[in-house]
């Protein structure tokens, strides 16, 4: 069993914001697995699918970004999973716009949602799939991440979310993280 979590904010007003790229990529994962977000459990919207007969849980925390760790901790506990059976997809202002970067572990950087996940589960030893959103437009970070994705950027982020979803599926399928990084990380 494996858990893939896409970070974001649950209200419709945030649906097309930069901070919801994790939710959008989680939707792509669910679609790839022919799964639907039908259940609510552990403060998350959950879809269940299978890869080679193994169950994969895809989750979107409903706790809002800065408390995402609560839902992740509850899901890990409910399904008796370790952090090694977890991949988290999220936006990252420190990466160039549209770039995808996979890492087997690491810090939260400037991301409050990841800070919450690491604090709640007590580990940073889990796969993370980051989607770059960096912009030099001079907009304060909080305003920028909660602003709607610019129309001209939709194709870039649609492709980045699809790439992040493919990476998450590969990790859940047991592909070695080094190979996933080589295949899906942008240069």
**Cα 95 from chain centre:** 15
Under 8 Å between Cβ of 96 and 181 = no
What are phi and psi for residue 176, nearest 5 degrees?
A: -60, 135
Active site residue 19: yes
Q: What is the dihedral of CA 34, 35, 36, 38, to 10 degrees?
A: 150
CA-based nearest residue to 41, from 19, 67, 70: 70
Query: Which of the residues 19, 32, 99, 134 is marked catalytic?
Result: 19
Structural contact between residues 97 and 21, judged by C-beta atoms closer than 8 angstroms: no
Q: Which residues are designated catalytic?
A: 19
């Amino acid at each position: 069993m494996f858990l893939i979590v896409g970070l974001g904010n649950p209200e419709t007003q945030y649906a097309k914001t930069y901070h919801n790229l994790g939710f959008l990529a989680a939707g792509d994962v669910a679609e790839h697995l022919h799964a639907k977000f039908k259940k609510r459990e552990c403060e998350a919207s959950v879809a269940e699918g299978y890869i080679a007969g193994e169950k994969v849980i895809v989750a979107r925390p409903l706790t809002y970004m800065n408390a995402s760790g609560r839902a992740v901790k509850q899901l890990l506990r409910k399904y008796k999973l370790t952090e090694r059976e977890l991949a988290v997809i999220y936006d990252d202002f420190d990466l160039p716009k549209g770039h995808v970067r996979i890492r087997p572990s690491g810090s939260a950087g400037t991301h409050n949602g990841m800070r919450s996940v690491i604090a709640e589960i007590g580990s940073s030893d889990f796969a993370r799939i980051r989607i770059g959103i960096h912009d030099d437009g001079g907009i304060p970070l909080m305003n920028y991440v909660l602003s709607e994705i610019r129309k001209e950027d939709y194709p870039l982020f649609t492709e980045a979310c699809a790439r992040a979803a493919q990476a998450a599926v590969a990790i859940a399928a047991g592909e070695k993280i080094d190979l996933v990084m080589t295949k899906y990380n942008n240069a």
